Amino acid sequence: MEKLKEKFADWLLDIAKYVITAVIIASSLSNFGEWTIRGKVVAIVVVLLITIVGFVLSINKKGE
């Protein structure tokens, strides 16, 4: 079970990195200013939640 938590934590952190990279690339290729405030907030909240869950699982696996 611990191995599963470890893999899931790594996976979540990878997903957060990919989303951040995609947003940076998309914003450089298109007009990021046209995004609505709600769209920007949702994107930031999703990335933060994924990152926080990944870090919590990662800390739990290293602490045990």
Q: Give the pLDDT confidence score for residue 53 in this predicted structure.
A: 86
Overall pTM > 0.95:
no
Determine the Cα–Cα distance for residues 12 and 24; give it in Å rounded to an integer: 18
Q: Which long-range contacts (CB under 8 A, 24 or more apart) does 38-43 make?
A: 43/19
Please give the residue range of the domain that contains residue 38: 2-63
pLDDT of 4: 81
| Tally of domains in the chain | 1
The pLDDT value recorded for residue 35 is 64
